[in-house]
Chains A and B, each alone.
Chain A
Amino acid sequence: MQADSATLHPTAAKSKRLRKPTKHGRYQLFFMASPFLILAFLFSYLPLYGWIYAFYDYRPALGIAHSPYVGFKWFTTMVSNEVQRAEVVRVLRNTFGMNLLGLMTSVVPVIFAIFLVEIKSTWYKKMVQILTTLPNFVSWVLVYSFVFMMFSTQTGFVNGVLMDLGWISEPINFLASDSHIWIKMTLLGLWKGLGWGAILYIAAIAGIDQELYEAARVDGAGRFRLMWHVTVPGLMPTYFVLLLLSIAGFISAGFEQFYVFQNAVNAHDIEVLDLYVYNIGIANSSFSYSTAVSILKSLVSVFLLFIANRLSKMVRGESII
């Protein structure tokens, strides 16, 4: 039968044969991509269903079906009066302030990487790299206990040394202080992330064409000129991509660090948006309110991403999305 139809309609058979590979290829590509599309849908879009909780007064035992509908109440609560608004402004100020400091210090790993590569002694280079990368794997909880041990007034060695030297007469509780807290937190973050952040740049430096260095050397460039005119421009694309990505994500950065370091004295200046959501919402089981705040957070993130993209277009002439 098949043979018959083929002989009866030679043109049809021919066109089929022609079209088949493209059609086949199209589906093949689609099927190859589909697992990832499904995953993206499952983990990135399906959870958006959870936004519905922001419009209910959700109580876990009753389920969403039996919880009362409250409309936009949670959204308006956030800005309902002056003190409340001041709270939101304070939290946003902390979020943006500390993250901007973080962005500003993001050049430090670049500088670190550039100088590290210049070191001749291999074992010393390796050692420095390992020692600076290790803190990245220490959790914030452990970092806090370590810092607490160092600065504790009773057993801390910092207070011990200062007292023994006779510089102070009474122990000082350094952790219960809000002076320069943003800078202290940024430095801690830098200490933890320095080596890890430098890894990408070290790899990028290895990828810079050696001929560029040779040509520059022939032209009489010294060591610092090589760094400034070859290495730095070679790193810029990597740096910018990472910078732009971190701008887009910065509203949700740093919860863990601030959560473990917060106390009554510094909470005012350390409470970032995520921590605020936790302290007000999750810790008190106000799930609906927390959801409402996170929705706003997502919107701000999308907004920031577009700004970053625009910036990228302006500065480098290419966009990242």
Chain B
Amino acid sequence: MIVKGRKLSFVLSVLCLVLVISACSGGSNDAKNTSSASNSPSGSSGSEQLPELTIDVLSMLTDYAGPQEGWFAKIVKDKFNIKLNLVNSTGEVVPSRMASGDLGDLVVFGNENRKEYSDSIQGGLLLDWTKDGLLDKYGTNIKKYASKGIEANMKMFGDGKHVYGIGESVGDGEGSSELNKLTMGPSIRWDLYQKLGSPKITKLEDYLPLLKKMQELEPKSDSGRKTYGFSLWSDWDGNFMNLARTIGSYYGYQGGDGFNPGDMLLVSATEPKYQGLLDENGYYIQGLQFYNKANQMGLLDPDSVTQKFGDVANKLKDGQVFFTPWTWLDDTYNTENHTSAGKGIMPVPFAEEKAITFGYTPYGGERKWAIGAKAKDPARVLMLIDWLYSPEGMMVLQNGPKGLTWDLKDGKPYVTEFGWKAYQNPDTEVPAEYGGNTYKNGSVKINNSTLNSNLINPETGEPYHHDMWSSTLDHQPNPVLSSWREAMGAKTMNEYYTKNNMIAVTKQTFTGEPPVQLTTDIQQKQNEVGKVIKEFSWKMVIAKNDADFNKLKQQMIEKAKGLGYDEVLAWEAEQTKKTAFAQNP
């Protein structure tokens, strides 16, 4: 019996091993198949009879890795016979790829990757779009709709002759370039606010007693957990506590000037003024104080220091949190279940607020589209980018597949029934003829934009993004939105803030020169200082009383100064004065 048992276990373990091995080799077979298929010509769907091509996309704007799936994959395959394969871009992958000299076919740089972008150009890792007249031949839409973006990149990074990439959100205009909902601005639970009689909120601090009353009014969430005013997370922090710095954006101060590196700066969008992060009366310290007061009042989720964003999103969804610092977070709670019951989180500004809103960037933003120097077929990669800069590509990028999520009626765009469902619940299944999978899984994983989504589409006479279509604004709002519209006397948050002069619009700095880069010396100091600021900021937020808070504040300032904070601040302020302030006095 024992022998039999042993035999059996041996057989089982061998079986396990075989399964594991075959699973691995199965994967590699797939990879081989696609790569060999990519070289063989395909006659079926490719409109221009081009052979199938798989391009490696290195997008520093996404954590997603793997092939693009669903509806966007289908559109790109049908139109260009191209398959997109997103390669991992997390952690140390980007530097090691740079060191190896091959960045892939299509490369997308994020806001945080300015240094990588200019280093890559200097190191010859990016393709010059003017080589062999590629841009003239295949970049007609880019030249037509984003000529300033090309010009700027030529001046800043290509000695006025070469083009190595183009930024996102290209487009000229006045005022805010954002959609219906501005990004920056506090939101609270609208239904509870109404129940409490919509008291007037003048100062930022006025939210705290209000949130306390909300907590008393609704002590338990949907699933019976304790509710809090705030639930914070630390995994997005850089050289500071991100959620504290964002408080500055309610007063018209953004982190850095948007052009030069400036982690230690808060810069006004409307006048040539700046604050150091650690200024005693600065908005960063005020932000810390705000959260600390919340903590002292029992309004701060004690998990805040240890949890990650994903945990917070789940808590929001469950109704455990009443306040969100950025409006795009509201929709996490505003699911159909909640809104149909009249519950929702909506923007409620305080009277003194002047929210930072992003203005137009005629020269393109910091998120660059580029082509690797070793790209397999640069012309076709450029064709793809060019299409994304065309009205047709832009509509797909912003709104999904035509005929599925949106369509045209009398030349005007409108969102279809399916569209409303998919935008509301991205896990909606997409029909097989449009590529199958869910709407979310099929969305554009590259995660970069091209033109400004607020620009008017010349083919329809309406803005590109469905949020701004007149048909959308007239579409039946949910109970929460209609109650909000009635109380605020405006159709959208953008309209309300603009009407009441509560916005501070950022301006793009353009000097014709590339932004300076942190010297390694300054960078090194900033890393050390940043670590201290981050650590102490969180300690200050969860301090038991004001005395502890002030003691920690003094310790933070002392330690940061010892590590070279003043030097870093002076250097960064100098750059801002020389460029942003000189241009927009």
A residues near B, CB below 8 A? 57, 59-63, 66, 70, 77, 81-84, 86-87, 148, 152-155, 170-173, 175-176, 263-265, 267-268, 279-280, 282, 284-289
Contacts and interface: CB of A to CB of B under 8 A. Distances in A.
Contacts of A264: 234, 305, 534-539
Given A84-B528, A265-B538, 16 more contacts: A60-B119, A61-B120, A61-B123, A62-B122, A62-B123, A77-B524, A152-B303, A153-B301, A154-B226, A170-B302, A176-B302, A176-B306, A264-B536, A264-B537, A280-B527, A288-B520
Contacts, number: 100
B37 interface: no
B96 A279 contact: no
Contact of A280 (B116, B120, B226, B528): B528
**Top 8 closest pairs, chain A to chain B, by CB:** A83-B562, A264-B538, A61-B123, A61-B119, A60-B98, A176-B305, A173-B302, A60-B99
Contact of B298 (A70, A170, A285): A170
Given A61-B116, A62-B122, A284-B527, A171 B535 contact: no
B563 A84 contact: yes
Main secondary structure of the interface of A (DSSP, over half): loop
B241 to A, nearest CB: 8
A268 B534 CA distance: 11
B181 interface: no
B320 to A, nearest CB: 7
A153 B123 contact: no
Contact of A61 (B125, B307, B315, B537): B125
B92 interface: yes
Contacts of A268: 535
A82 B563 CA distance: 9
A285 B125 CA distance: 18
A82 to B, nearest CB: 7
Contact of A172 (B125, B302, B305, B520): B302
24 contacts: A60-B95, A61-B116, A61-B119, A61-B123, A70-B520, A81-B562, A83-B562, A84-B528, A86-B562, A154-B315, A154-B320, A170-B298, A170-B302, A175-B306, A263-B306, A264-B535, A264-B536, A279-B531, A280-B527, A280-B528, A282-B92, A284-B523, A286-B520, A288-B520
A221 to B, nearest CB: 35
Contacts of A287: 95
Contacts of B92: 282
Contacts of B562: 81-84, 86
B480 to A, nearest CB: 25
B143 interface: no
Contacts of B119: 59-62
A77 to B, nearest CB: 6
Given A59-B119, A263-B538, A264-B538, A173 B306 contact: yes
Interface string B298-327: 100111011100000001000010000000
Given A63-B99, A175-B306, A265 B542 contact: yes
Contacts of B303: 152-154, 173
Contacts of B376: none
Most buried by B among A57, A77, A154, A279: A154
Contacts of B125: 61
B96 A60 contact: yes
Contacts of A153: 301-303
Contacts of A62: 119, 122-123
A7 to B, nearest CB: 62
A61 B306 contact: no
A280 B531 contact: yes
A288 B119 CA distance: 16
Contact of B123 (A63, A152, A267, A279): A63
B225 interface: yes
A155 B315 CA distance: 11
Contact of A286 (B226, B298, B305, B527): B527
Contacts of B212: none
Contacts of A87: 528, 563
Contact of B520 (A57, A84, A154): A57
B155 interface: no
B301 A267 contact: no
Given A154-B320, A268-B535, A148 B306 contact: yes
Nearest to B308: A148
A81 B565 CA distance: 13
B101 to A, nearest CB: 8
Given A171-B302, A173-B305, A265-B542, A83 B559 contact: yes
Given A87-B528, A286-B523, A176 B542 contact: yes
Given A60-B119, A62-B123, A279-B531, A265 B305 contact: yes
Interface in B375-418: none
A280 B528 CA distance: 7
Nearest to A178: B539
A63 B320 CA distance: 50
B312 to A, nearest CB: 11
Contacts of A82: 562
B414 to A, nearest CB: 42
Contact of A154 (B120, B225, B535): B225
A66 B320 contact: no
B19 to A, nearest CB: 19
A193 to B, nearest CB: 24
